[in-house]
Amino acid sequence: MYQYNEVDQALVKQRVAQFRDQTRRFLDGKLTEDQFRPLRLMNGLYLQTHAPMLRIAIPYGLLSSEQLRMLAQITREYDKGYAHFTTRQNIQLNWPALERVPDILADLASVQMHAIQTSGNCIRNVTSDPLAGIAADELEDPRPYCEIIRQWSTLHPEFAFLPRKFKIAVSGASSDRAATQVHDIGLHLVQSSQGETGFEVLVGGGLGRTPVIGQVIRPFLEKKHLLSYLEAILRVYNRLGRRDNKYRARIKITVRETGLDKFRELVEAEWTRIRGSMEVEVERYEEMQAYFSMPAYKEAVEPHQALQRNQNQDAGFATWLRYNTTEHKVPGYSAVYLSLKAPDVPPGDITESQLDTVATLADRYSFGQVRTTHRQNLVLADVRQSELFDLWQKLVSLNLATPNIGTLTDIICCPGLDFCSLANAGSIEIAAEINKVFDDIDYLQDLGDIKINISGCMNGCGHQSVGHIGILGVDKKGVEWYQITLGGSSHNEAAIGKRLGPAVSKAKLVDTLSKILHVYTENRTTDEPFLDTMNRIGIQPFKERVYANH
Amino acid sequence: MQIIKHAKIVSDHWTHVADGPIPSEGCISVSFARWKDQRTELLSRVDALGLRVSSEDPIEEVADDLDRFQMIGLDFPVFTDGRLFSVARTLRDQYGYQGEIRAMGGFIRDQIFFLSRVGVNSFEMEEGSDLHGALSALDDFSVNYQVSSDGR
């Protein structure tokens, strides 16, 4: 993984000093709340319902065991002993004290971490594929490009006060595991007809109140022009994006109101002017790629025999193997998902002792690295198949082996009313309720790939609009109601879910889900996933069943 | 009043003229609208001329006139409106403007470092501001991932 040099280290240290000074001036009354707000947000700090919330950046979701241990220590020392992984591969603390945040940042800087641009109207932490570098369907590892984008966007002097937040995701595989189509800029590594690798550039995707699928602004961008093209898009957006209404300020609205063709024309004009002075040299890419070279894999050792024996011995292991591991491009290795969706735990939450033990497991089984995923789980990416049984046993005792990856209970969920001052309704309790009712593992496995996404308000941090089943909390005269959408997806076939009908009450929500699932199981053909059935039969049969007695 | 210019605290000699009468002598700055309105008249002046630009002013329209101005003031409506950062960059990089670019209006000290990287070289803060503190903000960072307008 990328290792800081002196420049990187100096930069995060100086940012800590700058933020310490800003916090002090705020506490001394020399910065007003209105002045401090954008400054603290640019450092991931929200003032929330109960306490400040600090969002820490995990660039493209990659963590070392040393960094995990520091996160464990920070949650112990400054918080309540747990933390929460987000849909953008970051991690959040829910209970830090404002005056101690600079100390947290200093501790983070000591392990090459920071909270820079994890919130605010600036370029956010760049996200990517949690299976980067190991996926069989990958054209090229996206992480070297992510790191180059991270550096370019970090404390970019021109783009710190954009009309609104700005999110970039990069995917190098044919299967889009980074939700690139719902980002402000989505980058896909693709091959030109001449066999040259470059980027397909999407612009104007986004979730929130007005979910939009990104559109192709440039089908093929030569690698050397990566940063100049991004800079051109950002400059045009910074000048053109609306400042009069924050709900119309994202680039998706700019592109819609300007028209994609006109927007492209403006970007390309700016790009043509600046691209000569901003080329990324081949050597720079090579230097970066060296940081992400393959670890020292061992020869495969009769993996199939050992695995088969273990599976025959233990049905629980066999089930876990099927749902929580995935193929690796190197024979004899698997990638392992650590489920942060145990039935009794808020989705994405992890305790300090789990963080510490995961660090130990990463050292023992996976070259000392862990990845975070868009769906709020963790991945040990390089596990020898011969060690899967050992690892599974340890994960079971850690409560990180719930075999539900990709099933109904692998729920994306925002913190909701319990923690967030923006929320209209609870979301964690809905996830808990779903877990309580749908607790039959055989039924979940029979249902197969169903993605439920829950947000406690229309800002959409839980990505409800791209859930196969999306659940959105709304406030009706002080009572929590839930609006349901069906058929959304952030994968290759990206789509915004269609609204089922009027919102349902909290008491009826799980019953409504049962009805939706019944319509699916009654109508599916053999092995047909939920999304395909929904797309084939349409939303009407679901509507009819759910609202039959209304 | 005192301002920061070329990383020093200095006395300022500019008069920012609003809608009222234009003094016959001395360095004055006018708004974008006034320049468009009274261009010929303003060009007949002997003393130096400055232009004040706000976020929504289409600077493209005065691209050919830029060498008439010794100073261009970026007049921030509020500090969170970042359009003028791109305007500064465009003035320096695209139009090659060499004169003084001044931040004025609603910007805050915590933006001074970034502003200095996109081509702003003077800072006019509201009366009573801590100019020494503001001056130190120019040194907030000794390292950068991006190249500044003046090649630093």
Asked if the domains at A134-289 and A303-397 fall in one CATH topology, the answer is: no
pLDDT of B88 strictly over 60: yes
For residue B82 the two structure tokens come to: 């970042």
Q: What is the DSSP letter of B92?
A: I
3-state secondary structure A101-168: HHHHHHHHHCCCCCCCCCCCCCECCCEECCCCCCCCCECCCCHHHHHHHHHHHCCCCCCCCCCCCECE
**Residue A485 carries which side chain, given as an amino acid letter?**
T
The confidence band for A383, taking pLDDT boundaries of 50, 70 and 90, is very high
| Facing B86 at nearest CB: one of A15, A39, A238 | A238
Test A18 with B55 for CB contact under 8 angstroms.
no
CA nearest B82 in A: which residue?
A161
pLDDT at A52: 87
Q: What is the pLDDT of residue A456?
A: 94
Cα gap B18→B20, rounded to integer Å: 6
Torsion over CA: A445, A451, A455, A461 (sign): positive
Burial class (CB in 10 A: 0-12, 13-18, 19+), B8: exposed
pLDDT reading at A305 higher than 80 = no
Q: Which residues in chain A touch residue B146, judged by CB atoms under 8 angstroms apart? A: 152, 156-157
d(CA A362, CA B125): 52
| Distances in whole angstroms, Cα of residue A532 to Cα of each of A99, A322, B39, B83 | 51, 21, 65, 45
* Stretch (H or E) spanning A442: helix A441-447
A260-300: per-residue pLDDT in tens?
Answer: 999 999 999 999 999 999 999 999 999 999 999 999 998 87
- For residue A435, what are the contacts with CB-CB under 8 A and spacing of at least 6? A343, A344, A409
The phi, psi pair for A304, rounded to 5°, reads -65, -40
| pLDDT above 90 coverage of chain A, percent | 91
Q: In Å, how far is A103's CA from the nearest CA of chain B?
A: 18
Q: What is the CATH number of domain A6-109?
A: 3.90.480.20
> Between 3.20.20.70, 3.90.480.20, 3.30.70.980, 3.40.50.300, what CATH number should domain A303-397 receive?
3.90.480.20
Give the closest-approach CA distance of B123 to chain A in angstroms.
Answer: 16
What does the alpha-carbon distance between residue A212 and residue A181 come to, in Å, rounded to a whole number?
9
| Cβ A454 vs Cβ A474: under 8 Å | no
B113: closest chain A residue by CA: A157
- Residue labelled with tokens 């996976």: A366
**Average pLDDT of the residues in A103-122:** 98
How far is residue A183's CA from residue A213's CA, in Å, rounded to a whole number? 8
Task: Look at B83 and A238 and tell me if their CB atoms are within 8 Å.
Answer: yes
Q: What is the pLDDT of residue A147?
A: 98
| A11 CA: distance to closest CA in chain B (Å) | 6
CB A163 within 8 A of CB A243: yes
Taking an 8 Å cut-off on Cβ atoms, the answer to whether B82 and A159 are in contact is yes
Q: Place A318 in a pLDDT band, splitting at 50, 70 and 90.
A: very high
Question: Taking residues B92-103, what's their average pLDDT?
Answer: 97
Query: What DSSP string describes A461-515?
Result: TT-GGGSSEEEEEEEETTEEEEEEEES-BSSTT-BPPEE-SS-EEHHHHHHHHHH
Q: For the whole model, what pTM was predicted? A: 0.96
Q: How many residues does chain B have?
A: 152
Nearest CA in chain A to B57: A239
Residues A341-351 have a mean pLDDT of 95
Q: Cβ atoms within 10 A of the Cβ of A223, count?
A: 17
Residue in A10, A38, A274 closest to B142 by CB: A10
pLDDT of residue A35: 96
Residue A379 has pLDDT above 60, yes or no: yes
Asked if the model's pLDDT at residue A49 lies above 70, the reply is no
- Element housing A94 (H / E): none
User: Which pair of structure tokens corresponds to residue A360?
Assistant: 């130990």
Please state whether beta strands A504-505 and A479-486 pair in parallel, antiparallel, or not at all (unpaired): antiparallel
B89 vs A235: CB contact, 8 Å cut-off?
yes
Residues of chain A with pLDDT > 70, as a percent, come to 98
Is A35 at the interface with chain B, CB within 8 A? yes
Q: Indicate the average pLDDT of chain A.
A: 95
Residue ranges of alpha helices (H) inside A184-334 are 226-240, 251-258, 260-274, 282-291, 303-313, 315-324
User: How close does chain B come to A151, measured CA to CA in Å?
Assistant: 6
Binary contact (A160, B144; C-beta < 8 A): no
DSSP B85: H
Chain B residues in contact with A157 (beta carbon < 8 A): 85, 113-115, 117-118, 144, 146, 148
User: Torsions phi, psi of A337, nearest 5?
Assistant: -85, 130
Q: What separation, in Å, do the N-terminal and C-terminal C-alpha atoms of chain A show? A: 56
Average pLDDT over residues A319-338: 96
What is the pLDDT at residue A50? 67
pLDDT (tens digit, 9 = 90+) per residue, A171-204? 999 999 999 999 999 999 999 999 999 999 999 9
Give yes or no for B74 touching A (CB within 8 A).
no
Segment A205-226 shows an average pLDDT of 96
Evaluate the CA torsion angle A493, A496, A502, A504 in order and state its sign: positive
Q: How far away is chain A from the Cα of B26, in angstroms, using its nearest Cα?
A: 33
Rg (CA), chain A: 23
Closest CA to A303 of A325, A323, A319: A325
Pairing of strands A215-222, A197-203: antiparallel
Task: State yes or no: pLDDT of A303 exceeds 70.
Answer: no
Spans of all domains in chain A: 6-109, 134-289, 303-397, 412-546
Chain A residue whose CA is closest to B115: A157
Q: Does A9 touch chain B (CB under 8 A)?
A: no
Residue written as tokens 């030109």? A192
CB A137 within 8 A of CB A175: yes
pLDDT of residue A302: 62
What's the CA gap between A197 and A224, in Å, rounded?
11
Of B79, B94, B117, the CB nearest to A157: B117
pLDDT for the residue numbered B43: 93
CATH topology (fold) of A412-546: Sulfite Reductase Hemoprotein; domain 1 (3.30.413)
Q: How far is A154 from chain B (nearest CA, A)?
A: 7
C-beta atoms surrounding A413 within 10 Å: 30
**pLDDT score at A309:** 86
Average confidence (pLDDT) over B24-43: 95
> A419: pLDDT confidence band, cut at 50, 70 and 90?
confident
Interface membership of B80 toward A (CB under 8 Å): yes
pLDDT tens, residue by residue, A32-46: 999 999 999 999 999
Q: Residues 264-323, chain A: which have Cβ within 8 Å of B? A: 273-274
Question: Does residue A248 register a pLDDT over 60?
Answer: yes
Model pLDDT, residue A277: 94
Verify whether the Cβ–Cβ distance B114 to A152 is below 8 Å: no
What CATH number is given for B2-137 in this structure?
Answer: 3.20.20.70
CATH code of the domain occupying A134-289: 3.30.413.10
Neighbouring C-beta atoms of residue B42, cutoff 10 Å: 17
For residue A327, the model assigns a pLDDT of: 94
Residues 6+ apart with CB under 8 A from A462: A87, A412, A413, A414, A416, A427, A453, A454, A455, A456
The answer to whether A202 touches A188, Cβ cutoff 8 Å, is yes
